[in-house]
C-alpha cells in the first residue's frame, strides 16, 4: 500500500534518484569510516565534505526549479534564503563554542567581545538550542518569502520585473549583513565552529553523518517536489507558467498558488543553507552576493528546468567544474561560466535532460517509422513455377 502510494506521486526517474541518494547516504559514510585509507574504495574525509557541499547546492537548485521550472517565477535572489538558513545554523554553532573561544566569554561570541558588545542581542536568544535553531532555519526564510511574495504577487509583478526585485532583495541583505552593528559578524561572518549536538564538527564521523543527512534531505526535497508537481496543485502551477492570464480568467487565484510554492521553495533553500554551513565551516555576507543566485539559475538551466532531476545534475557538474577551474585556471573560470550559460541558452534550451529526451524521442520515431514500412514481397521458395496470372480476354 505504501509502495503504491509512493509510486503514485513519484515517477520512475525520480524514484531511481531517491533510491540512489539513499544508497549514497549509506555507502559513502561507511566507505569513509570502515575501509582503510589504502583501499581504492576509501572515500577521504575532505571528499566527503566536498560532495556534501555539492549536494547542498543541488538542493538549492531543486528549490529554484520548483518555482522557475514549474511555475515560471525566475528568481535571482534564492541565494538570500540559502544564506539566511545558513546564518541560523551558524548562530547555533557559535553559541556552542562558549568559553572555548579566543576571549573565553561563556555567552558572547568572539566577534561581539572584540566589538565591545556588553550583552547578547535579543535575536540571539534561543540559539543555544538546536531545535530552536532548526525551527528558525525554516521559519526565517519562509516568513521573508511569504511577506515578499504577498506584496509582489498581489501586485501582479511578473517576468523580468520580479526577477530584478528578487535580486534587489538579496543585495539589500548583503549590505545589511556587512554592517558590524547588525550583530552577525560583519564581513567576517560566523566561523571557528567547534561542536554540533555535542560532537566535534571536525571529526570524520561527524562529517560523514552531515553528509548522510544532506543526501537524505536532498532525497526528501526530490520527493516533496515530485509530490507537488504530480498533484492537482502541480497542474495548476504548470498552467500558471504557460498561461497565467488564462488561469486568472478561469477563476484561479493565481497569486495564492504562486505564494504557496514560493514559500515552500524558500524553506527548502533555507534547509540547504543550514546543511551547507557545518560542512564548509563558515558563513559570511558573500553568500548573499547576487552572483551566487545567478549561478544557481545556471545550474538549473544546464541540467534542464522543469525536470527536478536535471537541476541536481547541473549543480553537481557545474560546481565540479568550478572546483577544477578555480584551482587549475582561476583567471578563466568566470569566462567559462559565462560561455556555458550562453551555449545552454542558444543550443540547449532544455538542458542536459532535455537533450537526452530529444535523442530518445528521435530514436523512438525512427523505430516507429521502421515498423510502418511494408515488408518486401517474399519470393517463392518451392521448385514449382508460380501460378501465372489470368490473361485478359481478347
For every residue of the chain, which 3-state class applies, written as one string?
Answer: CHHHHHHHHCCHHHHHHHHHHHHHHHHHHHHHHHCCCCCCCCCCHHHHHHHHHHHHHHHHHHHHHHHHCCCCCCCCCHHHHHHHHHHHHHHHHHHCCHHHCCCCCCCCCHHHHHCCCCCCCHHHCCCCCHHHHHHHHHHHHHHHHHHHHHHHHHCCCCHHHHHHHHHHHHHHHHHHHCCHHHCCCHHHCEECCCEECCEECCCHHHHHHHHHHHHHHHHHHHHHHHHHHCCHHHHHHHHHHHCHHHHHHCCCCHHHHHHHHHHHHHHHHHHHHHHHHHHHCEECHHHHCHHHHHHHHHHHHHHCCCCCHHHHHHHHHHHHHHHHHHHHCHHHHHHHHHHHHHHHHHHCCCHHHHHHHHHHHHHHHHHHHHHHCCCCCCCCCCCCCCCCCCCCCC
CA 296 to CA 153: how far, in whole Å? Answer: 22
For residue 328, the model assigns a pLDDT of 85
Q: Cell digits for 166?
A: 528578487
pLDDT tens, 130-178?
A: 999 999 999 999 999 999 999 999 999 999 999 999 999 999 999 999 9
The crossing angle, in degrees rounded to 10, of helices 254-280 and 232-242 is 100
Residues paired with 333 in a beta bridge = none
Q: Where are the domains of the chain?
A: 9-295
Whether 393 has a pLDDT exceeding 80, the answer reads: no
User: 81: closest CA among 282, 272, 314?
Assistant: 272
Residues across the chain: 394
Question: Residue 349 has which C-alpha cell?
Answer: 534550451
Confidence of residue 394 (pLDDT cuts 50, 70, 90): very low
Q: CA 197, CA 154: separation in Å to the nearest integer?
A: 42
Confidence band, pLDDT 50/70/90 cuts, at residue 259: very high
% of the chain surpassing 90 pLDDT: 73
249-to-150, 244, 261 alpha-carbon distances in Å:
20, 9, 21
Q: What is the pLDDT of residues 25-82, one digit of tens each?
A: 999 999 999 999 999 999 999 999 999 999 999 999 999 999 999 999 999 999 999 9
* Residue of 49, 47, 59 lying closest to 299 (CA atoms): 59
Taking the CA of residue 93 as centre, how many other CA atoms within 13 Å lie in the half-sphere pointing to its CB?
30
Q: What is the pLDDT of residues 89-135, one digit of tens each?
A: 999 999 999 899 888 889 999 999 998 999 999 999 999 999 999 99
Residue 3: pLDDT band (50, 70, 90) is: low
C-alpha cell recorded at residue 273: 543553507
Question: Is the pLDDT higher at 41 or at 350?
Answer: 41
Residue 4: what pLDDT? 66
How much is the pTM?
0.90
CA nearest neighbour of 348 among 321, 322, 310:
310
- HSE-CB at 8 with a 13 A cutoff on CA atoms is 7
CA distance 265 to 165: 17
Banded pLDDT at 317 (limits 50, 70, 90): very high
Question: Mean pLDDT score of the chain, rounded to an integer?
Answer: 89
Per-residue pLDDT band for 7 (boundaries 50, 70, 90) equals low
Residues 6 or more apart whose CB falls under 8 angstroms from that of 179 comprise: 186
Does residue 334 surpass a pLDDT of 90? no
Amino acid at each position: 500500500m505504501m509502495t503504491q502510494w509512493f509510486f503514485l506521486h513519484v515517477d520512475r526517474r525520480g524514484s531511481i534518484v531517491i533510491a540512489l541518494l539513499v544508497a549514497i547516504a549509506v555507502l559513502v559514510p561507511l566507505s569513509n569510516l570502515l575501509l582503510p585509507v589504502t583501499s581504492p574504495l576509501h572515500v577521504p574525509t575532505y571528499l566527503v565534505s566536498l560532495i556534501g557541499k555539492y549536494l547542498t547546492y543541488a538542493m538549492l537548485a531543486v528549490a529554484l526549479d520548483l518555482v522557475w521550472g514549474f511555475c515560471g517565477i525566475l528568481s535571482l535572489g534564492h541565494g538570500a534564503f540559502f544564506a539566511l538558513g545558513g546564518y541560523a545554523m551558524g548562530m547555533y554553532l557559535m553559541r556552542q563554542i562558549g568559553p572555548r573561544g579566543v576571549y573565553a566569554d561563556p555567552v558572547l561570541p568572539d566577534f561581539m567581545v572584540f566589538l565591545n558588545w556588553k550583552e547578547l542581542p535579543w535575536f540571539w536568544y534561543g540559539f543555544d538550542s538546536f531545535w530552536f535553531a532548526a525551527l528558525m532555519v525554516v521559519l526565517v526564510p519562509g516568513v521573508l518569502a511569504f511577506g515578499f511574495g504577498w506584496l509582489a504577487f498581489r501586485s501582479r509583478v511578473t517576468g523580468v520585473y520580479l526577477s530584478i526585485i528578487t535580486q534587489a532583495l538579496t543585495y539589500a541583505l548583503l549590505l545589511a549583513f556587512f554592517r558590524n552593528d547588525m550583530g552577525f559578524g560583519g564581513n567576517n561572518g560566523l566561523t571557528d565552529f567547534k561542536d554540533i549536538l555535542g560532537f566535534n564538527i571536525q571529526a570524520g564521523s561527524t562529517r560523514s553523518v552531515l553528509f548522510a543527512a544532506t543526501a537524505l534531505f536532498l532525497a526528501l526535497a526530490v520527493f516533496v517536489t515530485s509530490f507537488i508537481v504530480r498533484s492537482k496543485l502541480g497542474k495548476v502551477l504548470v498552467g500558471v507558467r504557460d498561461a497565467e492570464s488564462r488561469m486568472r480568467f478561469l477563476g484561479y487565484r493565481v497569486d495564492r498558488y504562486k505564494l504557496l510554492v514560493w514559500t515552500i521553495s524558500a524553506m527548502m533553500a533555507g534547509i540547504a543553507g543550514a546543511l551547507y554551513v557545518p560542512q564548509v565551516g563558515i558563513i559570511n555576507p558573500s553568500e548573499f552576493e547576487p552572483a551566487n543566485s545567478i549561478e544557481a539559475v545556471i545550474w538549473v538551466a544546464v541540467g534542464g528546468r522543469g525536470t527536478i532531476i536535471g537541476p541536481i545534475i547541473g549543480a553537481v557538474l557545474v560546481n565540479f567544474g568550478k572546483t577544477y577551474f578555480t584551482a587549475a585556471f582561476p583567471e578563466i573560470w568566470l569566462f567559462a561560466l559565462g560561455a556555458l550559460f550562453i551555449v545552454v541558452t542558444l543550443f540547449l534550451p532544455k538542458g542536459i535532460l532535455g537533450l537526452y529526451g530529444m535523442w530518445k524521442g528521435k530514436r523512438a520515431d525512427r523505430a516507429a517509422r521502421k515498423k510502418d514500412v511494408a515488408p518486401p514481397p517474399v519470393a517463392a521458395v518451392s521448385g514449382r513455377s508460380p501460378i501465372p496470372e489470368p490473361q485478359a480476354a481478347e
